[in-house]
Amino acid sequence: MRKIAFLLIAAMLLGSNSLLRAQEGVEVETSGRQFYVEMGSLGGLFSANYQSRFSPSERLGWGYHAGLGFTLVDTYGYDYGYGSNYNDENNTVYTIPVGLNYIFGKANSPHTFEAGAGVTFLTKKIVYGANDGYNRADEGNVIGGFTFMYRRIPIKGGFTWGAGLSPIIGTSGDMGLGAAFNIGYSF
């Protein structure tokens, strides 16, 4: 967890260095690095992510992302004492989404399409996507998924945004379809 936090901080510092050079009047081409916040997708309800391409000077092609986030999960339990026999509460589960992606597009256009796959590590064992919420045999700390998104990534860096679909594979192996939206900055 500390290593991922360190990587995110390092990414932000590198990004601020690029921003300072741009403010000095030096022409800076974007390198495909992005910092963005996302609702939905593999990070859960909300996540902050860093994304980069494997080829440092490219805006398109193969890359990776990593982030930190959280989601809310319903937990169900029974109290066999004399009190209420049903306990329904929301618990916060922290998430660490990581994945690989490919960004398609034309070199001179900000309009791109992202296709990717990844996993999310959860801080608590939960039942995610099970047909029967009481089947504790399906508890797990990892979920998987895919992303299919339109992404607007400016050629010379700047404000980015994206929207799309994100199929999630739950701890029970069931698959659900969710939506995702993100905003951020490319540098």
User: So what's the pLDDT on residue 57?
Assistant: 80
Question: Which residues face 68 on adjacent strands?
Answer: 48
The whole-model pTM stands at 0.74
CB 29 within 8 A of CB 37: no
Model pLDDT, residue 136:
55
Spans of all domains in the chain: 2-186
pLDDT tens for 117-159 read: 999 999 988 877 665 545 555 678 899 999 999 999 998 889 9
Non-local CB neighbours of 152 within 8 Å, separated by 6+ positions: 110, 111, 112, 160, 161, 162
**Tens of pLDDT along 20-77?**
344 444 344 566 899 999 999 999 999 999 999 998 788 899 999 999 999 987 655 4
The answer regarding whether domain 2-186 maps to CATH 2.40.160.20 reads yes
Helix (H) or strand (E) holding 152: strand 140-152
The pLDDT tens digits of the residues spanning 73-113 come to 765 544 444 444 444 556 889 999 999 999 999 989 999 99
